[in-house]
Structures are given as C-alpha cells and as structure tokens.
Amino acid sequence: MSVNFRPIQALRLWHDVTLDIVREDDFDLSQRQMAILLTIYLEMPPHTVRGLAKRLNVTKPVITRALDTMGGLDLVSRRRDDLDRRNVIVQRTVRGSLYLEKFSDRITRRLAEAEAGGALP
C-alpha cells in the first residue's frame, strides 16, 4: 500500500494511534522507550546496550534506565554475552512481540479508517 500523507494527516494518524494507546494499554512507553523497542524488533540482532546507545545517539545509562522499565514490563530481556562478558545482550520477548503486533494493528486500522473516510488523498 502506498499512501502519500500531507503533514497534518501524518500528525492526525500519529495522534489517533497515540490516543488509542493511552486509553487502552496497561502501560505507557516514552518516545525513547518506543524507539529502543522498535529498534530491537525491527533491526537485525544481536543488540547490545552499547550498540543501542550508539544507534540512538544517547548514553549507555539512558539505555539502561529504559531497559530497566521495559524489562520490568517483560517487553525485552537482558543477559550477559557469553563471548564478551562486558557486553549485555538485549533480546526480544513474547510479550514485547505481542505489544508491537497490537501497536501495528492499531496503525493499520487507523490508516484504513482514514482512507475509508476520505481523510487521505
């Protein structure tokens, strides 16, 4: 599907999906946490704290704090790298996969609603 958004339409879609999340989810991720989560799930592993910090252009403590929260929600897990004990490997979880599947379903649904309602060109 190829859709050309005007800026206001892109913002409206983001707004609607964000409202769905705020209203319906058990937890609420920050923009930074969502960026980290999406990076872990959309880019090829392995993912390390150091690698995520570099990719997002933030410090390792910033990544660690975000992972503490997301790990507590069981969206990601961490373990020491067996080959290099200085590295911490960040891994996907089933709950994290389900959360992002639900998130992508919301985006798809909202996009379909906007197209059906004539809100998109």
List the one residue out of 34, 6, 23 whose CA is nearest residue 104. Answer: 34
Name 47's bridge partners.
90
Position 2 confidence tier, pLDDT thresholds 50, 70, 90: low
- Dump pLDDT digits (tens) for 26-72: 778 999 999 999 999 999 999 999 999 999 999 999 999 999 999 99
- CATH says 7-116 is which class? mainly alpha
Write down the pLDDT at residue 42: 96
| C-alpha distance from residue 43 to each of 49, 56, 87 (Å) | 14, 13, 18
Residues with Cβ within 8 Å of 39's Cβ and at least 6 positions away in sequence, in order, are 47, 52, 55, 56
Q: Is the pLDDT of residue 120 over 70?
A: no
Please tell me the pTM assigned to this model.
Answer: 0.85
pLDDT of 118: 59
The domain ranges of the chain are 7-116
Average pLDDT, the chain: 89
